[in-house]
Structure 1
Amino acid sequence: MAKLFTLAEISEHNTNKDCWLLIHGKVYDVTKFLEDHPGGDEVLVNATGKDATDDFEDVAHSATAKAMLEEFYVGDINSSTIPTKNQYTPPKLANNNQNKTSEFIIKILQFLVPLIILGVALGIRVYTKSSA
């Protein structure tokens, strides 16, 4: 039977002299592999103290790399020690039709700005003709 570890226990192994990772609910002591890791030891040490599954999968490791994990396997995680992920819920805002208000203002400006420009241009033309 596999040994069960808590997340707190796994988190204690977080240096380049003692490095454990949690990947897919399994605990791996990768200390001996740190020097051979193609991405460097810092990448692995930075993945300690949390569920590193996403970090591991994001790199798209080869089947060979995934098979290598088995030689570093030391046990499983006690899943009750992993904090649950909270889904983000945005705050509810008052519905004051800001989108419709801004659309209305834009339409007014699209109408008024050309009229103002035309009026200024005509005013300058009339002023220059009357002063000549």
Structure 2
Amino acid sequence: MGGERKLYTLVEVSEHNNPKDCWLVIAGKVYDVSKFLDDHPGGEDVLLSATGKDATDDFEDVGHSSSARAMMEEFYVGDIDSSTIPAKVKYTPPKQPHYNQDKTAEFTIKLLQFLVPLLILGLAVGIRFYAKSA
């Protein structure tokens, strides 16, 4: 890694996206992992799916060992021009209609106005039949 570091754009890195030529961007560095595809414990598809983007989060989410991190140095080819990586957009959930608690309360009251008299009627009929059979 001596001398001047090569600076790549994301477009340049994303052109290396096949099993014979696979480059990844992790933590601001560019790695040529083409020779490692067959040996990667997660399989080559995992690495190939991480091309053309900043794969730092994917790499960190897996929880790679310190030996895996040390191994990365042999695949290092340069740095990424961070201005070419699109900014992450914060997820904003879609607007949903406001929950109207009054309508729920209104429905509950109507349901109880129907069920309570039925319960009283059922109880009265049950007591009457119980009293006749006793």
TM-score (structure 1 length as normaliser)? 0.79
- The percent of aligned pairs where both chains have the same amino acid is 55
Alpha carbons of structure 1 residues 92 and 37: separation in structure 2 relative to 1, 3 Å:
closer
Q: How does 1:113-124 map to 2 (within 5 A)?
A: 113-119=115-121
Deviates more, 1:108-117 or 1:22-31: 108-117
Offset of residue 42 of structure 1: 1.1
Q: How does 1:24-35 map to 2 (within 5 A)?
A: 24-35=27-38
| 1:48 equivalenced with 2:47 (yes/no) | no
Offset of residue 45 of structure 1: 0.7
| 1:23 equivalenced with 2:53 (yes/no) | no
Runs (5+) with no aligned partner, structure 1: 127-132
Which among 56, 80, 96 is matched to residue 77 of structure 1?
80
How far apart are the structure 1 equivalents of 2:114 and 2:49?
58
Matched residues, number? 125
Map of 1:106 onto structure 2: 108
Runs (5+) with no aligned partner, structure 2: 129-134
Deviation per CA, 1:90-128: give whole Å up to 9, x if none.
Answer: 455665x513421442354245324334446767999xx
Q: Secondary structure at the match of 1:22?
A: strand
Map of 2:132 onto structure 1: none
Q: Secondary structure at the match of 1:116?
A: helix
